[in-house]
Structure 1
């Protein structure tokens, strides 16, 4: 005997009954809500996510093909990225539709992850991949100024395309121009293969300009796609604007709004008048050859060693050193349309007018010519869009 009192069968039975009642056990008192709640919690989401194009698709168009939608629910998350992890920006519209903010790159594999919730908060996800088309025909743009350059206040950002563009709006959307300090910059097309960007007035000195070319995958014309992704940065230098008066035969050089120097010049003689208007320096040549045949003047002249030449138009207008002009400078107009400054053959004298002006000038500086009685230079003849009103530029 261990001294403990034995438990009666009646007490043991009562204890078991109490345990059974407390445990729930599915007896007569169970209303079934436990099972119902669990089943409801495990019910799949009613939201359905659809991704176009279909999973694994190839040769997908770079524009208009990608769209993500949700039915019986709202999109809560959309991630699209290329194989390097670069994201594609986009917007959810009305909670049920997502489209990319811009075109996609060509020959690129993309991954899609999208999530939607139904009215009860249950989530449904969709993951897929697709690859964009590989174009048979492409175009690129050559641009001015170059990355990292410093230019004068008149220099636009100009792009010349290797193929004529018939979808200009799509190309413009793929080019962004930002400045510091901020200023409105607008594009203008010259024909179908050139676009220039500029502000309403000359750039402010010190402005930092950043241009992003996101042309890869842009369909510039049917079946012809861009293939460039570039960021170009350039800086606007000090302000230099020079005014040539063909009547007085003088040029006034202004630096940051103050007169720096006045220089005697000669401009185009009767029948060969110099264009009027605002012209932007686009090229500087220490010495160059000038042949009348290249500008439609036959064999009237062929000078193989023109010193200190600065190009103002594509058609052949320069402001340059002139060692053969005699006493024309400051007295009368004797050139075939260029602006001539006194110089010496070989250009060795750094103190003479042409050398001084050449050394003080940079690409993008402005030369304004007036009182020649000729017509205004065409806006696309060089970088001379400043001769257009802002209203015409932005049409």
Structure 2
């Protein structure tokens, strides 16, 4: 009798005979879930340390709960094997991770771990210039200020998440190391809905100094209104949604105190306000307690406002101001028929007023929220 010796060409191995690892059928190993950092870890970095992975299968659910039960959003890799958080964690906070995965046969495994993040040596706070739910003009710029110098500007900038409907590309630009402004390339399309997620909490802005801001806000861009002031012609044209509403005679800066050229954005509105020349470097040249219908265009003191002290013949014929744009008005701000009142009532915070043909330089982009005077290729460059 002949004995036939068979080689391994049949495709079955010793491992096949005894099954897969830990008694699982071949090709059906239990999914292995790893949570980093490990359970009980302390002084964990607020970014770059948390990661959940799966071997021999995929992750089906990952939840990360913060100290107050809030969930940390995250992103799962395309192959379903790696999960990472989508934002920084808070400082000196305990987090609990629960992860579920399954192998190719649908068998599930669950793992959990808790850890505590690193305390902050110091913190920094942030403020911004747009009220939640506001309707603003097409020139509005989101401007954030910080109470301490920021060194990792890119990390702080990238922690501000802006989404729009319709989709518009928005970039941030740093002015120095304590101010960060955001805008699109061109004025916002009318009707744009903007949502901002401030995720600065846990961001290390400088060594040992972490942010605390973790908040959402939104605003709506209203109708498009852009006003062009021609300092030479002494007129201004108000254009809304592509149509001229009105052309109004004005007075702008005198020869010795000309008005800035450039695109300026209305940032504040006052039905009446005091204007004291001493506060903007003009000594005692003027102090008017009740300037009507005043709207701020620059930090340095440029306003577009009503003027009741100049004669009616001044508007459209002479430039006599200390740099502001003046419209005919009445004392008391109580006559709705005046140009000053009409423009005030028809303007939004965020509307654009562009001055042309003035004998002065273009206003600096950080003098007010006037970043529209910076070319797009420079906006957002570097940090």
Deviation at residue 240 of structure 1 after TM alignment? 1.1
CA contact (8 A) 2:24 2:30 kept: no
Q: Give the Cα separation in 1 of the matches to 2:103 and 2:350.
A: 59
Distance 1:106 1:304, change over 3 A: same
Superposed CA RMSD = 2.8
- Partners of 1:284 and 1:255 lie apart in 2 by 19
Is 1:282 the counterpart of 2:275? The answer is no
State the aligned residue count: 360
Runs of 5+ consecutive residues of structure 1 not aligned to the other structure:
1-34
Residues 62-73 of structure 1 correspond to what in structure 2 (within 5 A)? Answer: 62-69=46-53, 73=55
Q: Indicate if the aligned counterparts of 2:32 and 2:57 stay in contact, CA closer than 8 A.
A: no
Equivalent runs, 1:238-257 vs 2, <5 Å: 238-257=223-242
Q: 1:113 — aligned with what?
A: 98
Tell me, yes or no, if the aligned pair for 2:58 and 2:81 is still in contact at 8 Å: no
Pick closer, same or farther for the CA change 1:129–1:322 going to 2, 3 Å.
same
1:41 aligns with one of 13, 20, 23: 23
Q: Which residue of 2 aligns with 1:186?
A: 171
SS in 2 for 1:315: coil
TM-score by length of 2: 0.85
Q: Quick one: distance in 2 between partners of 1:286 and 1:176? A: 35
Stretch moving more, 298-307 or 90-99: 90-99
State yes or no: 1:297 paired with 2:282: yes
Name the structure 2 match of 1:76. 58
**Counterparts of 2:223 and 2:22 in 1: how far apart (Å)?**
72
Question: Superposition pairs for residues 154-303 of structure 1, below 5 Å?
Answer: 154-303=139-288
Distance between the aligned counterparts of 1:373 and 1:79, measured in 2? 63
Cα deviation per residue 1:339-374 (whole Å; 9 max; x = unaligned)? 111112222211111111111111111101011120
The verdict on how the C-alpha distance between 1:37 and 1:260 changes in structure 2, with shifts beyond 3 A counting, is closer
1:340 equivalent in structure 2: 326
**Conserved in 1, the CA contact under 8 Å of 2:196 and 2:216?**
yes
1:334 CA displacement:
0.4
Distance 1:48 1:336, change over 3 A: same
Structure-2 residue corresponding to 1:143: 128
* Aligned position for 1:382: 368
- Structure whose CA Rg is larger: 1
Q: Gapped runs of 5+ residues in structure 2? A: 1-16
What TM-score do the two structures reach when normalised by structure 1? 0.83
Deviation at 1:87, TM superposition (A): 3.9
What is the rounded CA distance, in whole Å, between the counterparts of 1:133 and 1:369 in structure 2? 51
1:36 to partner: Cα distance? 5.2
